[in-house]
Structure formats: structure tokens, C-alpha cells
């Protein structure tokens, strides 16, 4: 009966299917569904920009309006990927500029974006609406000026955690009078890159503005003026939240915050001065998201603040909150879903705050909806991890970073295998896991056995032998991304599980024990993988083949080897004669 | 190796078709693998002593393996304390720090990219933490219970944000060399002197130049003027200066980026102080 539906009906049905995964499934049902689906896919997601070529994407999906691309491996966030590795967006923009002028959205993560690319975007897409650059680099305020000037229909400009070269603070004045932004995030810009008067005028003009995240350079006394011009803001990020305490400034600020009746999310708060904190109290009861991770306030002030936020779902905070603050959080914020606790002094030899496993246990016990955790601390025990696991079987993301590598259970001095084992055993929907502490191959056996929904695993300073890696590669059915550093994993597990790599997006291994010979072999045998050796010491073939490579990045691709690599990256060649079907 | 897999086959639940395909592939590669096994110089499993052998720093000359930084090598205080008789007995501290560059600063273990905190956040944290530990430099001293006064100091000093670290990665500044379009980044916090910085830059660019198979660039002695290149930097005010004139810490707090310039183009570079203008120009380059 399905066959009698005209294409337009199916297309209409498909239009309700937004998720990428579902769209991919739909396209595999039969040839005609594949055809219909490809013509009506409006959003394309490419998780690894080198897995496919722009031309292939355009050929298959001739009518998309929105594209999301990711470039560098995740460990690039921690400076493990040398500069110049790749991830250039220009070839994509160039292909799309030619093919369709009706593109509306570009979202990029960890890519190199040049001013040239931004200028090409500005010139080529007349109806361009959304630009989201996340952890990108390579552009300056000149490129932003081009976007501002030419994209008359721009709705969203979101630069989160980007590295922008500052050339002029006046790029904001290039926005035409008619622009009506809905979202503007310039929180990553340095001091010289924003002109306050231009900002105020812009905010005043954009009557539909719902998200505004300022950068650190915007002083406290400018916030009130800006907020008054945007009373319908839902998400707001302050600049530096510090100034000498002046009653007039304070009351101005408090008045401005209370006039924003729809605020749900607050962030910014650099250098926060507690005296000004009560100014935000009027907004607290409606807050669902609070990012205080740049605010150096102490636990008592935090507790006072959090007690006003009973509807909080997402909290990012520094470890100044301490166990006591987390206990308070657990008793007031029953809707909490996501918690991230960052270290205030990651390199200090001694703990500077009293934040231990107790805080996390308290939150796991008091917040039944907790799903996502990122927690930096200095000690942990298996007992605590087991308790946490039992308290929160609904975890989807669990990332624990015990600051000193290979730290054992502080109570028993044993490895933390059992604790993490409990996490994967009880949390059946776990999608993302980051390990730390003292760990043997046993933890990987648990992971391979239980973590069937795990999609991303991050491992550092763990394991004893190749068996550990083998457990993960052979057991984790849903694994897409695996990143490993400083572990004694070598050739055996990798070569034995080569086929698994075809089912994953990517594998990163640095400071491990994979030999150059194994890399070559893998490259030869696996035509649909790019096996990249990254080694700044020089060409790997100037050393014996048994020598381990410095860094290894393997990803599946239908685009073949890339040609934009810097001198310290080598892609291992395919050898058709050695391939197995 | 085969023994290990058998253990696993018994324990895991349900062998998927993927797995059986994998097992058949194992047989095919076993020959190559056993050769690899013989070739591998490092022990990979059990026993903590395996890593003692090679302690050369990662940037040693080619033709040798260089040291592989595995979990066993990591100079962890805790694992020495724990001493649980497991496979991690007595880790060997590397002669060089694990960050590949010499002269790493004192304090907790400075491993590249650890703890895993994004650069942007790291910069803010480091500035605050340094200030709280009463570090020198122009960030001033911030006491936990007197934030207002300290901030007054911070804001008054130059009206702008304090150090260069906010513009780039933690201590990482970009460095470009004339003639090579791709820039690199160097971590200033891993150095405590001009000499070690110059050495690192020479290694960085000398090596990559060789791998491009160009003429090896004569970078030796970047600092004393005997080379074909000279090291310059752009400071907070946007001026380009010769590296080496000011005390190291002052340099680190004001540098925005580096450029290795051909000596011939370096004439007329703004010196640090006007009085020394003439002196600079007449220096042999």
C-alpha cells in the first residue's frame, strides 16, 4: 500500500522527521525512499569534515538549507592537535557558493575559518540567517564585519569559544539598520573587539533579540542600559561582573534585571564581586541554566544564590562551591539535569578547596533527574562511584577527571575499575564516558561487557596492555568516537579489530605504543579509512618501523586521502593488493 | 596474543558477525604481527620496569625511537605512594618533562593537555590562580576576601585586561617564520628563559624545514644575531620588538605573538626604548 502514495505525500511525512539518524534510516528503506528523502533533506550534518567531500554532499542533497560540520578531533581542545593539522572550511564554502545561493545556516565546530571564507559567505548567500562558530579559529573582526554588512537577514551570530584576531572594535557598526538579530554571542572576543555604543544601538534595534552573550570587556555599569533595551531576553551573558560598589549602579542593575521577565539562562560573571550578586535575585526563580564557571565566588555566596534557584536544570560552577555547596544544591535544585564542576587551581600541588567525591555523591542522591556530569576533583573511591551509579541509572554523560593521573581509590588504594564498572553496569543508557584515576585492563572489560549504548569514550593514563583496548573495540557496539592518550596500547588490539574502525567515526591515540609498521599495515588493508600519523619529530620512515608513532588519528571516509595536510601529518597509503574483501 | 583472545571469547556475551570477521582477519595478519612483536622495543604488559630503557626526550635526533610516553612513565607521586604491588611499581621520572619542551615551570606535573580543560577556560583560571597564589607580574595580588580592592588595581593598571594569555591558549603564542606559510604555536609557560625558547623554536622550524626537503634554514643562535634570522615579537600595544631586551617575565606578560624574520628585513624594528634606537641599529645583525 505504501507504494501507491505519491511522492509529495511521502515528502510531507518525511518533513516531520528532523533527526539526522532517523533521516539516514528512512533513506535506506528502499530506492524510491532514498530518492525522495535526498531531495527533501534540509539539514545536513557531517560529523567529520574529511569523511566526505563537499561535492558528494551537494550531489546527494541538492536542496539543503543548513549544514553542520565538525573538523578537528576533540583532543584539539587540549592542545594535543598541532596547529595547522587541518579542518579548513573554505573548500566547503567555495563548493556551496557555486551550487546554491539559498543556503541559510552554517554551523561549524573546531574548524579553521578564514576571513576569506566569511567574506565568501557574505557574498554568496542572499538569505543567510544563522552562523554558529564553535571553537573555531583563523578569522578576524574583518571577516565579521563582512558578515554583518552583507547578511541582511542574519538572525543568529554565535561565536562560542573562538579565537578571533582583533583588528577593530567597530565591526558591529556594520550591521544595517534593518537587521533583526535573535541571537548574538560574542563572549569570546577580547578587549578591543567591541564598541560599546555600537553594541547598545544594535541591541536597541533588534527587537526580537532573545539571546545575548557579551564579552568580558563589557563593564558592569553598561549592562543596565543594554538590558533595558532588550527586555525580552531569554538568555543573557554578562561581561566582567565587577566594579566598586556604588548604590546607583547597583540599583540600576537590579532594576534592569527585574525588568527582564523572561530570563531563563545567565552566564558570564567574570571576576564576580559578591556585592553585586543580589542584583540578579529577581531573575533567579525562573532560571533554568546558570553558568558561574568564571565566577570566583566562594561557597557561602553560592549557597545563598542557589537557594533562590529552585528551577535550575543546568549548573556550571567552579570548585569553590565545595562539598557543602553541592549538598545545598542537592537539597534545593530537584530538577537538576546537568552539572559541571571545574577546578579553580588545576595546577596547584595541594587542594585549595574542600571539594571531594562527597559533593558528587550528594548531588547524585538529591537530584533524581541528573543525567550529565562533568566533575573535576582530586580524590575518588570505588564506594562513592558505586553509590553514584546506583543513585543515577539515567546518566547519559559521565565525565570524571581526577586531576592527578593514575590516582587510586583513596580509601583502599585499589584501582577504580570496580567504581567505573558500576557506572557502566547501572547506567544502561550511558552515551559518553570519560575515565580517570588508576585503572587496569579490568575496567575496559567492564566497559566492553556493559556499555552497549556508549558512543564516545575518553581514556587517559589507563590500562595495562592491549587487552584493554581489545575489550573496548570488540565489546562496545555503539562506539563512534574513541580517544586515548598515554596508555600502553599497541598494535595487536588495533590490528585485530581493524574492521571495527569502519563502523566508527574516528579513533585518536597519542603517546601510546602503536608502531609505524602497524599504521602502514592498517592503511594498506583498510581502503575506507584514513590513517593519519601526526609526528612533529620528523618523517616516521626515518625511524625503524617498530618505533611507536607520536599521534595517530584514524577515521572512516568515502572521500579518500586528503591533500591539505601540513608537513608533520602523513596519511598511510592504500595498497589494493593487500586488501581483504 | 592468541591466548588473550581466547580468554575474551569465553567471557563476552554473544559473538557478533563483526567479531568472527575480526577473528579471521587475525589469522591473516599473524605473521606480520609476530614480526611486529619482535620489533617492538618496549614491553607492553605487566611489570613496571619496561619503560626504563629509553629516557631520551621526544625531540631527540631522528634515527632513534625517541621515548614513548606511556602510563608507566608518567611521574606520578600518587602511584609511588600507593605501592600496591600492581603493575605500576616505581614509575620512572623522565629526565625531561613530558611536555616535550625543556625548562618546564615548577608546580604540579605539567603534562600537555592535562587536566583536560579547554584553553579558553584555562587562561581565565590561570590568571586568577596565579594572582591568588601571590605570583609576581602585573596581575597584582588578589586575596580571596578582598576582591574589590584587587580588582581596582587590575582595572586601573591599563584599563584593559591584564595579560596576553586571554588572547591565545594557555601561554601558547603563535609563531610564524618568513618563508613558511603555516604558523605554529609555542607554549611560553614551558620555558623560563630566552635560551630555552630559542632552542625550542630552532628545533621546531629546523625539523619541519628538513621534512619539506628544502634548504635547512640556518636558525642557530636566533638571539645573538649570528643567524640569518632574527626573533621578534608583537607586544600588547601592537609594536614589533626584538626579542631579548627585557626581563623574561616582562616579555612573557606582554608578548602577543612571535615572528622569525629574515635579518635583512629586521632593520628599523622599533626598539624597546627610544634612547636605544641608535644603539639597536648599529648592532651587528
DSSP-derived secondary structure for A262-285: T--EEE--BT--GGGGGGGHHHHT
Cβ of residue A409 closer than 8 Å to a chain B Cβ: no
CB contact under 8 A, B12 and A449: yes
Cβ of residue A474 closer than 8 Å to a chain B Cβ: yes
Map residue B29 onto helix, strand or coil: helix
Nearest to B115 among A403, A408, A449 (CB): A403
| B155: confidence class by pLDDT, cuts 50, 70, 90 | very low
Sort A3 into a burial class: Cβ within 10 Å, 0-12 / 13-18 / 19+: exposed
Measured in angstroms, the CA of A405 and the nearest CA of chain B are apart by 7
B-chain residues near A497 (CB < 8 A): 22
Query: Given a cut of 80, is residue B279 above it in pLDDT?
Result: no
Residues in chain A: 581
CB atoms within 10 A of CB B284: 7
- Within 8 A by CB and 6+ apart from A122, the residues are A128, A146, A147, A149, A150, A151
Measured in angstroms, the CA of B278 and the nearest CA of chain A are apart by 31
> What secondary structure does DSSP assign to A555-573, as a single string?
EE-SS-S-S---TTEEEPP
Predicted pLDDT at B209: 45
B-chain residues near A243 (CB < 8 A): 151
B-chain residues near A493 (CB < 8 A): none
CB contact under 8 A, B68 and A513: yes
Q: Quick one: cell of A139?
A: 578569522
Contacts with A, B 10-49, CB within 8 Å: 11-13, 16, 18-19, 21-22, 25-26, 28-29, 32-33, 35-37, 39-42, 44-46
CB contact under 8 A, B22 and A496: yes
Q: Quick one: cell of B272?
A: 624597546
CB contact under 8 A, A343 and B125: yes
The pTM assigned to this predicted structure is 0.76
User: What are the pLDDT digits (tens) for B95-144?
Assistant: 333 333 333 343 345 688 999 999 888 877 765 655 555 443 333 333 33
Predicted pLDDT at B28: 37
User: What are the pLDDT digits (tens) for B78-88?
Assistant: 333 333 333 33
Q: Could you tell me which residue, B189 or A248, shows the higher pLDDT?
A: A248
Nearest-angstrom CA–CA distance, A445 and A443: 5
Measured in angstroms, the CA of A477 and the nearest CA of chain B are apart by 9
A-B Cβ pairs (cutoff 8 Å, strict): 289
B-chain residues near A82 (CB < 8 A): 184-185
Cβ of residue B6 closer than 8 Å to a chain A Cβ: no
CB contact under 8 A, B121 and A491: no
Q: Quick one: cell of A496?
A: 585485530
Pairing of strands A314-318, A289-292: parallel
> What secondary structure does DSSP assign to B168-229, as a single string?
SSSSEEEEEETTEEEEEEEEGGG-SSHHHHHHHHHHHHHHHHHHTTSPPP--S-TTTT-SSE
Q: How high is the mean pLDDT in each 10-residue block of chain A (581 residues)?
A: 77 91 93 93 96 96 96 95 95 92 96 96 96 96 94 96 83 92 93 78 95 93 94 96 92 95 96 93 96 94 96 97 97 97 89 95 97 97 98 98 96 98 98 98 98 98 97 97 97 96 97 96 94 92 93 96 94 73 46
Q: Quick one: cell of A235?
A: 538568555
Nearest-angstrom CA–CA distance, A520 and B272: 51
- Rounded percentage of chain B residues whose pLDDT exceeds 90: 1
Predicted pLDDT at B177: 83
Give the residue from A74, A79, A270, A448 with the most B CB atoms within 10 Å of its CB, the best one to mutate: A79
Nearest to A544 among B65, B160, B183 (CB): B65
Predicted pLDDT at A308: 95
Q: Could you tell me which residue, B220 or B157, shows the higher pLDDT?
A: B220
Map residue A190 onto helix, strand or coil: coil
CB contact under 8 A, A440 and B68: no
Nearest to A542 among B62, B113, B187 (CB): B62
Nearest-angstrom CA–CA distance, A32 and B43: 55
Cβ of residue A401 closer than 8 Å to a chain B Cβ: yes
Nearest-angstrom CA–CA distance, A475 and B7: 14
Nearest to B152 among A244, A344, A474 (CB): A244
CB contact under 8 A, B22 and A467: no
Query: Contact at 8 Å (CB) between A126 and A100?
Result: no
Query: Given a cut of 70, is residue B16 above it in pLDDT?
Result: no
A-chain residues near B11 (CB < 8 A): 445, 449
Query: Given a cut of 90, is residue B25 above it in pLDDT?
Result: no
B-chain residues near A463 (CB < 8 A): 71
Predicted pLDDT at B244: 83
Nearest-angstrom CA–CA distance, B146 and A8: 68
A-chain residues near B133 (CB < 8 A): 345, 348
CB contact under 8 A, B114 and A405: yes
Backbone angles phi, psi at A309, to 5 degrees: -120, 70
Find the residue in A nearest to B39 (Cα).
A546
Cβ of residue A346 closer than 8 Å to a chain B Cβ: yes
Measured in angstroms, the CA of B163 and the nearest CA of chain A are apart by 11
Cβ of residue A374 closer than 8 Å to a chain B Cβ: no
Cβ of residue A477 closer than 8 Å to a chain B Cβ: yes
| B92: confidence class by pLDDT, cuts 50, 70, 90 | very low
Predicted pLDDT at B86: 36
Check residue B116 and report its DSSP letter. -
Measured in angstroms, the CA of A103 and the nearest CA of chain B are apart by 31
User: What are the pLDDT digits (tens) for B209-236?
Assistant: 444 444 444 445 566 666 677 888 888 7
Predicted pLDDT at A270: 92
- Average pLDDT across chain B, whole number: 53
Amino acid at each position: 500500500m505504501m507504494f501507491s502514495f505519491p511522492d509529495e505525500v511521502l515528502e510531507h511525512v518525511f518533513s516531520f522527521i528532523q533527526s539526522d539518524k532517523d533521516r539516514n534510516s528512512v533513506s535506506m528503506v528502499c530506492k524510491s525512499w532514498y530518492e525522495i528523502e535526498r531531495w527533501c533533506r534540509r539539514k545536513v550534518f557531517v560529523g567529520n569534515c574529511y569523511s566526505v567531500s563537499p561535492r558528494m554532499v551537494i550531489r546527494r542533497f541538492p536542496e539543503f538549507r543548513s549544514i553542520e560540520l565538525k573538523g578537528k578531533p576533540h583532543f584539539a581542545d587540549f592542545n594535543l592537535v598541532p596547529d595547522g593539522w587541518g579542518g579548513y572550511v573554505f573548500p566547503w564554502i567555495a563548493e556551496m557558493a557555486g551550487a546554491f545561493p539559498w543556503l541559510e545556516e552554517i554551523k561549524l565546530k573546531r574548524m579553521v575559518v578564514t576571513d576569506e571564507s566569511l567574506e565568501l559567505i557574505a557574498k554568496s548567500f542572499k538569505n543567510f540567517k544563522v552562523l554558529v562558530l564553535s571553537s573555531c579559529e583563523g578569522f578576524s573582526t574583518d571577516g565579521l564585519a563582512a558578515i554583518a554588512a552583507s547578511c541582511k537577514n542574519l538572525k543568529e551570530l554565535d561565536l562560542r569559544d573562538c579565537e578571533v584576531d582583533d583588528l577593530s572594535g567597530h565591526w558591529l557598526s556594520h550591521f544595517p539598520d534593518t537587521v533583526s538579530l535573535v541571537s548574538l554571542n560574542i563572549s569570546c572576543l577580547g578587549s578591543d573587539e567591541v564598541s560599546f555604543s555600537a553594541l547598545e544601538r544594535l541591541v536597541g534595534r533588534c527587537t526580537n533579540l532573545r539571546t545575548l552573550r557579551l564579552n568580558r570587556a563589557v563593564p558592569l555599569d553598561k549592562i543596565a542600559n543594554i538590558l533595558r533595551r532588550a527586555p525580552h531576553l531569554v538568555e543573557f551573558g554578562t561581561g566582567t561582573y565587577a566594579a566598586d560598589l556604588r548604590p546607583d549602579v547597583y540599583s540600576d542593575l537590579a532594576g534592569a534585571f527585574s525588568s527582564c521577565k523572561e530570563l531563563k539562562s545567565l552566564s558570564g560573571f567574570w571576576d564576580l564581586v559578591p556585592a553585586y550578586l543580589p542584583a540578579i535575585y529577581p531573575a533567579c526563580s525562573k532560571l533554568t541554566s546558570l553558568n558561574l564557571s568564571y565566577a570566583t565566588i566562594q561557597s557561602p555566596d553560592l549557597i545563598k544564590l542557589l537557594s533562590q534557584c529552585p528551577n535550575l536544570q543546568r549548573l556550571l560552577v567552579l570548585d569553590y562551591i565545595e562539598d557543602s555547596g553541592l549538598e545545598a544544591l542537592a537539597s534545593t535544585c530537584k530538577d537538576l539535569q546537568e552539572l559541571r564542576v571545574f577546578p579553580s587551581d588545576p595546577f596547584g600541588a595541594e587542594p585549595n578547596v574542600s571539594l571531594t567525591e562527597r559533593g558528587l555523591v550528594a548531588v547524585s542522591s538529591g537530584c533524581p533527574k541528573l543525567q550529565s556530569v562533568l566533575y573535576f576533583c582530586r580524590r575518588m573511591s570505588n564506594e562513592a562511584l558505586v553509590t553514584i551509579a546506583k543513585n543515577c541509572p539515567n546518566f547519559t554523560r559521565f565525565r570524571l577527571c581526577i586531576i592527578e593521573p593514575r590516582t587510586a581509590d583513596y580509601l583502599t588504594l585499589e584501582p577504580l575499575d570496580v567504581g567505573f564498572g558500576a557506572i557502566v553496569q547501572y547506567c544502561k543508557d550511558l552515551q559518553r564516558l570519560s575515565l580517570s584515576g588508576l585503572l587496569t585492563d579490568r575496567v575496559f572489560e567492564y566497559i566492553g561487557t556493559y556499555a552497549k549504548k556508549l558512543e564516545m569514550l575518553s581514556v587517559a593514563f589507563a590500562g595495562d596492555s592491549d587487552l584493554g583496548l581489545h575489550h573496548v573495540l570488540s565489546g562496545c557496539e555503539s562506539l563512534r568516537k574513541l580517544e586515548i592518550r598515554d596508555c600502553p596500547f599497541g598494535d595487536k588490539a588495533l590490528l585485530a579489530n581493524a574492521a571495527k574502525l569502519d563502523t566508527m567515526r574516528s579513533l585518536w591515540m597519542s603517546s601510546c605504543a602503536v608502531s609505524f609498521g602497524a599504521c602502514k599495515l592498517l592503511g594498506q588493508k583498510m581502503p575506507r579509512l584514513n590513517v593519519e600519523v601526526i609526528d612533529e619529530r620528523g618523517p616516521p620512515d626515518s625511524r625503524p618501523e617498530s618505533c611507536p608513532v607520536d599521534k595517530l588519528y584514524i577515521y572512516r571516509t568515502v572521500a579518500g586521502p586528503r591533500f591539505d595536510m601540513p608537513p608533520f601529518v602523513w596519511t598511510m597509503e592504500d595498497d589494493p593488493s593487500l586488501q581483504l574483501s | 596474543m592468541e591466548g588473550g583472545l581466547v580468554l575474551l571469547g569465553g567471557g563476552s556475551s554473544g559473538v557478533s558477525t563483526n567479531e568472527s570477521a575480526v577473528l579471521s582477519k587475525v589469522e591473516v595478519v599473524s605473521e606480520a604481527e609476530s614480526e611486529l612483536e619482535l620489533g617492538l622495543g618496549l614491553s607492553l604488559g605487566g611489570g613496571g620496569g619496561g619503560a626504563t630503557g629509553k629516557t631520551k626526550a621526544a625531540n631527540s635526533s631522528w634515527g632513534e625511537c625517541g621515548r614513548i610516553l606511556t602510563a608507566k612513565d608518567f611521574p606520578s607521586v600518587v602511584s609511588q605512594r600507593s605501592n600496591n604491588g600492581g603493575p605500576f611499581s616505581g614509575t620512572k621520572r623522565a629526565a625531561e618533562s613530558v611536555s616535550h619542551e625543556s625548562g618546564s615551570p615548577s608546580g604540579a606535573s605539567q603534562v600537555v593537555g592535562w587536566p583536560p580543560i579547554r584553553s579558553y577556560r584555562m587562561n581565565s583560571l590561570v590568571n586568577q590562580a596565579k594572582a591568588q597564589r601571590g605570583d609576581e607580574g602585573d596581575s597584582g595580588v588578589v586575596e580571596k576576601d578582598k576582591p574589590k580592592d584587587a580588582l581596582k588595581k587590575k582595572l586601573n593598571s591599563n584599563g584593559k585586561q591584564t595579560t596576553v594569555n586571554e588572547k591565545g591558549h594557555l601561554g601558547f603564542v603563535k609563531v610564524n617564520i618568513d618563508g613558511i606559510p603555516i604558523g605554529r604555536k609555542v607554549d611560553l609557560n614551558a620555558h623560563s628563559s630566552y635560551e630555552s625558547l630559542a632552542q625550542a623554536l630552532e628545533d621546531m622550524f629546523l625539523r619541519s624545514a628538513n621534512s619539506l626537503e628544502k634548504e635547512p634554514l640556518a636558525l642557530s643562535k636566533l638571539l645573538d644575531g649570528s643567524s640569518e634570522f632574527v626573533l621578534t615579537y608583537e607586544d600588547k600595544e601592537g609594536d614589533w620588538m626584538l626579542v631579548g631586551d627585557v626581563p623574561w617575565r616582562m616579555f612573557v606578560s606582554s608578548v602577543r605573538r612571535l615572528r622569525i624574520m629574515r635579518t635583512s628585513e629586521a632593520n628599523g624594528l622599533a626598539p624597546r626604548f627610544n634612547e636605544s634606537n641608535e644603539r639597536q641599529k648599529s648592532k651587528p645583525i
